[in-house]
Amino acid sequence: MNYGVLIPAYQPDEKLTALAHTLSDLKIPTVIVNDGSTEGLEVFKDCSAIEGVTLLGYEENHGKGYALKTGLKYMKEQGFDYAVTADADGQHLPEDIIRIAEAGASNADALVLGMRDVAQMPPRSKTGNSLTRTLFKLLYNIDLQDTQTGLRGIPLTENNIDGLLGIEGNRYEYEMDMLVESAKLFPGGIIEVPIETVYIDNNASTHFHAIKDGMKVYRVLFRRLPKFLLSSVLSFCIDYLLFNGFYYLIFRKIFPATVLARVISATSNYLINKKLVFKGSGDKYNLGSYAALAVCVLAVNLALMKLLVDFLHWPAFLAKILVETILYIANFFIQQNMASRK
């Protein structure tokens, strides 16, 4: 396996120089990408003089994802078939970088993640990591212990390089999007390898903005939600119009008008979701599983409405809003999970 280490760097300090020296001593080719830094320029100059280190860069800051794509493109062009990405702040140890590369050599088609011990993380990092991995499990049916690690082993193949470079995010959300798209990019799946949990000065040097960057990460996780909402609204409109047409113009009876309208609207909703909302979904998202889910949702809907209205004496209009909101959210999570299964 011809591999190298890729380090995106923004406003670095001497810890990057130390890591570059160590990798050079280990004869590991290293590519450092200056992501438009205005500070630490002497660090880049020092690194560029180290044997085995290649320095790339540009003047304007674009974000970690852009730097990673710049480095991955360069490494593929130079004949590397594997890249180990590491951060520039000294929190990824050389021995762990080697451990990731060794795991990659044994699992050539898999994305290898350096898994930190969440219990040893600072409170803010622990909370963020716990939330994202829980949501990632619910939405994509992939159980990971560390979704925010920057130490990764990435195979570079003719089949996945365009996909890696085509991921839209240019900042921290790029790494989350790589996990979301992992089924398409990495036939071998995702493998986690335990690494040391290192946080220098309680992660004071991080450039991650909890609100701005965090929102971009969660936007990646829930990017299908707006389309799902539009699909649901369209389905409701179809159901409403058909019900009234069947009732007033044909049957003059509630049951056949309701059932026929629901069958047509549900079928159209499935087709829209399959083709547009969950485009490229797995085999588990099919008409049979969708129909089974629809029946379950209807049964739960009836049960909750009966509980709230008949037993707890809630106003029906208020109970309907609460029940539909709960089931809408649950329905999205379940369908997203179904669509992510192969």
Strands 111-115 and 152-155, bridge-based pairing = antiparallel
Beta-sheet strand order (sheet of 82-85): 53-58, 30-35, 3-9, 82-85, 152-155, 111-115, 190-194
- Alpha helices (H) in 222-315, listed in sequence order: 225-246, 254-272, 287-305
Domain spans, the chain: 3-221, 225-340
What is the fold, at CATH topology level, of the domain defined by 3-221? Spore Coat Polysaccharide Biosynthesis Protein SpsA; Chain A (3.90.550)
Half-sphere exposure of 200 (CA within 13 A, CB side): 11
Q: What is the pLDDT of residues 163-205, one digit of tens each?
A: 999 998 888 889 999 998 898 899 999 999 999 888 765 554 5
pLDDT of 89 above 60: yes
What are 214-248's pLDDT values in tens digits? 677 778 787 888 888 899 889 888 988 888 888 88
What is the DSSP pairing of strand 190-194 with strand 111-115?
parallel
CA separation, residue 285 to residues 97, 121, 178, 276, 324 (Å): 38, 37, 22, 13, 22
Which of 221, 244, 240 lies closest to 232 in space, CA to CA?
240
The structure's pTM equals: 0.77
pLDDT tens digit sequence for 236-294: 889 888 888 888 898 877 778 878 888 898 899 999 998 888 877 767 788 899 989 98
